[in-house]
Amino acid sequence: MRETRIYVGLNDSETLQQEHETETYIRVLRNMCRSYRVAFSFSTQEGGYFHEDGRYTQETSLVLSLIDVPEETAHEIAKDLCAFFHQESVMVTVGEVEAYFVHEEL
């Protein structure tokens, strides 16, 4: 199976500050995945990075995980997140994963 992860920072690309509460971004993410009709999971994480000009930024990011979603759909979701969250870019990683489901009778 193919796993796509989309990493989207929450700091605005112009103000370099988070403009809304994290829960607001999470609601947008959930609604977007629902509208694309894809199964998903996500996590919230903290991180930091250096800009090309040497500035350092720390921010909250959302990491969206998609399993077996067509490449074109994942790309469209990434583009939408970039636009809706007012980002310069978002990072997408793709890899093969082995996955299986465990069922147990209660």
Which residues, including other chains, have CB under 8 Å from residue 24's CB and lie 6 or more apart? none
- What pTM was estimated for this model as a whole? 0.91
Q: What is the pLDDT of residue 84?
A: 95
Domain positions in the chain are 2-96
Q: Are 62 and 40 in contact (CB under 8 A)?
A: no
The fold of 2-96 is Alpha-Beta Plaits (3.30.70)
Spell out the per-residue pLDDT of the chain, length 106, in tens: 999 999 999 999 999 999 999 999 999 999 999 999 999 999 999 999 888 899 898 999 999 999 999 999 999 999 999 999 999 999 999 999 998 999 998 8
Q: What is the pLDDT of residue 75?
A: 98
79's tokens? 């583009």
Max intra-chain CA distance, the chain: 57
> What is the rounded distance in angstroms from the CA atom of residue 20 to the CA atom of residue 40?
22
Q: What is the pLDDT of residue 35?
A: 97
Q: Are 1 and 99 in contact (CB under 8 A)?
A: yes
